Amino acid sequence: MPETIVLDRPLTWQEIAAVAKGAALSLSDKTWTRIANARAIVDALVERRVRGYGINTGVGALCDVIVDIPEQRALSRNILFSHACGVGEPLGREETRAVMAAQIANFAHGYSGVRLETVTALLALLNADILPVIPSKGSVGYLTHAAAIGLVLIGDGEARHGTETITGRQALEALGIVPLVLEAKEGLSLVNGTPCATGLASLALARATHLADWADAAAAMTYENLGAQADPFAARPLTLRTSPGLQTVGENLRRLLTGSRLLAHAAGSRTQDPLSLRAVPQVHGAVRDSIAQNAAVVDRELSSVTDNPVVAGSREAPEVHSQAHAVGAALGLAMDALGIAAAELAAISERRIDRLVNPLVSGLPAFLADGSGVASGFMIIQYTAAALVAENRRLAAPASLDGGITSALQEDILTHATPAADKALAIIANLETVLAIEVMAAAQAYDMRPGLSDKASGTHGLYERIRGIVPIYRDDRPLNGLLAMTREFISTNAT
């Protein structure tokens, strides 16, 4: 049975990531009560004809056009159809589940005013793993992604069930749910807020955190192969630099490299190593600190209401407030920063790969090739790492500064939170590949030297695990196939 996360209070990014990976989600009784109370306020606003954006007005630049009660259902339905204009390849399973979980969490605060039936249907789709097809491109904020989810609730659009693509109506029929007829405000709430960005950001944080450990492991293997000096990760001098991340990296390196005869043999052979080796605690540690800082931003967003308008008060004294809580400026800045941090981690890994394969500095056979001249070994896969690092530099340009003007000057500043999260995920995917290359190269380097027992017990364990996945490379097959296997292992296993 999958883990079940109970939504009783604001979810954390770790919980969103857990749902993305397959955990079930349920709502506590008091959460359902909050949702019902917010809906009662919307009903009161409608009955009293209190003007509220997207409740009884048009949206965007049409916000001053009054929509009377008979047309409010049509408004909600039409919002979904007109906003469902995303393009590009669909989001993956984990990305889709993360967005849906964050959307439900946003409604659970009790300030959006969607009906219980709407949240129930969303929850049923998520827990059954029947997932709306969400085009990945075309959003400056959140609208197109979220509209694709909303379409399935009304029996339109498409969903995926395993490997099968089905219609929205078939998705609901599989769960015994009649297509919803949306009421006032529901169309707007279904496309509103920052759940697209918070969902993707939570997944990006989970992947970056996981890869930070693998970066330390890869660095330890490279350290040992290149006979680096142990002082850069010695405990006492590292405490002179204030950084929780740096201390964690130092602890990881010491744990993995304690007892290494290779490092003991190299001790004192150089005054200091090049920065790609010597600065591992400082660079990897800074990345870990950045992940922690950006995680705090995402948790704050998950604990916040990001709908517009929000409803408050009571059925007897209903209130509606048009503020800008749906603007994801904080998320855009955080995901830009996370992308830069991940790109930095890939960049230093690529420099270490170059040192492993470069006979001018490695002391190892040229390009770790098994046979001089007739075999190229790891020569060209270092090019692949360099290409991905270069791509990361391009991707690391800040999305949050892209700006833009939409909706006839009504939305005249855009913060691009969802695109920022999307490109952070792309950078992290490249980082995963670069780290897989370094781990493969380091394992090959061990095979190029005698005395396998000279490794530390920690790095020996890593070597054995990698060799359980891929063999020593002898130019006997396409190298990218072995790389794909190594990357899959890294993505699904802890160090």
Distance between CA atoms of residues 379 and 171, nearest Å: 49
Confidence band (pLDDT; 50, 70, 90) for 155? Answer: very high
Candidate list 53, 142, 223, 463, residue with the active-site label: 53
Confidence band (pLDDT; 50, 70, 90) for 62? Answer: confident
Query: Is the predicted pLDDT of residue 408 greater than 70, yes or no?
Result: no
Query: Is the predicted pLDDT of residue 29 greater than 90, yes or no?
Result: yes
Query: Is the predicted pLDDT of residue 309 greater than 70, yes or no?
Result: yes
Distance between CA atoms of residues 380 and 480, nearest Å: 11
- Please give the mean pLDDT across all residues of the chain: 93
**Model pTM above 0.85:** yes
Lowest-pLDDT range of 200-209, 374-383, 405-414: 405-414
Taking only the tens place, the pLDDT of each residue in 215-237 is: 999 999 999 999 878 888 899 99
Q: What pLDDT sits at residue 451? A: 65
Mean pLDDT of 152-159: 98
Confidence band (pLDDT; 50, 70, 90) for 200? Answer: very high
Q: What pLDDT sits at residue 191? A: 92
Enumerate the β-bridge partners of residue 6: 26
Lowest-pLDDT range of 118-122, 206-210, 360-364: 360-364
Q: What pLDDT sits at residue 269? A: 82
* Structure tokens that stand for 84 in this block: 């469902």
Tell me the CATH class for 4-192: mainly alpha
Distance between CA atoms of residues 329 and 310, nearest Å: 18
Distance between CA atoms of residues 368 and 378, nearest Å: 6
Distance between CA atoms of residues 194 and 191, nearest Å: 9
Confidence band (pLDDT; 50, 70, 90) for 319? Answer: very high
Query: Is the predicted pLDDT of residue 333 greater than 80, yes or no?
Result: yes
Query: Is the predicted pLDDT of residue 450 greater than 80, yes or no?
Result: no
> Is 3.40.1440.60 the CATH number for 201-492?
no
Known catalytic residue at 223: no
Q: β-strands 24-27, 87-90: how paired? A: unpaired
Share of the chain above pLDDT 90, in %: 78
Query: Is the predicted pLDDT of residue 264 greater than 70, yes or no?
Result: yes
Locate tokens 């027992």: which residue? 453
Confidence band (pLDDT; 50, 70, 90) for 296? Answer: very high
Contact 376, 367 (CB under 8 A): yes
Confidence band (pLDDT; 50, 70, 90) for 11? Answer: very high
Confidence band (pLDDT; 50, 70, 90) for 141? Answer: low
Domain positions in the chain are 4-192, 201-492
Contact 157, 82 (CB under 8 A): no
Mean pLDDT of 97-126: 97
Peptide bond into 359 cis (omega under 30): no
Q: Residue 325 corresponds to which amino acid?
A: H
